[in-house]
Amino acid sequence: MHKYLIFFIAHFINAYDNYNIPSNPEIKEMLYKEYKVLDKKLNLIYKKILLEVPKKEKENLIKSQKYWVQYRNMECYTQSYPMRDGTGEGIIEVNCLISITEIRIKTLKNGYVY
């Protein structure tokens, strides 16, 4: 049994080296770059909408955005909590940031047609 496990581990290590499978920190870095692009896009859309909406709606949108940021931060913290202090923590957290930001972009685009 042990010789099969050793063979499997050796095979996996060889495959890892030959195929340049990214490490968790590298995956996190790639995801974070994607998140930063989405975050910039969200901010551009948000600022454009703020320039175009009536004053009362602007106040509501500002409040909504502040609450959304709090929700995003807590939700992503909660989703990544089971991996806290592990190598997968950052991947889960950044993946959550990407997902929630994509949803917010769609929400703003669909809710404010100006």
The CATH number assigned to the domain holding 62 equals: 1.20.1270.180
Inside any domain, residue 10? no
Tell me if 5 is assigned to some domain.
no
pLDDT mean over 70-85: 89
Residue 100 located in a structural domain: yes
Predicted confidence band of residue 25 (pLDDT cuts 50, 70, 90)? confident
Backbone region of residue 86 per phi and psi (left: phi > 0; alpha: psi in -120 to 50; beta: other values): beta
Q: Is residue 18 part of a domain?
A: no
What's the domain count of the chain? 1
Model confidence pLDDT, tens digit, residues 30-52: 989 999 999 999 999 999 999 99
Determine the average pLDDT of the residues in 65-70. Answer: 98
Q: Which two tokens stand for residue 22?
A: 């990214």
- For residue 6, is pLDDT > 70? no
In a domain, 44, yes or no: yes
Residue 31 sits in which domain range?
A: 23-111
Q: Is residue 11 part of a domain?
A: no
pLDDT tens digits for 78-108? 988 877 877 777 888 999 999 999 999 999 9
Structure tokens of 59?
A: 């106040």
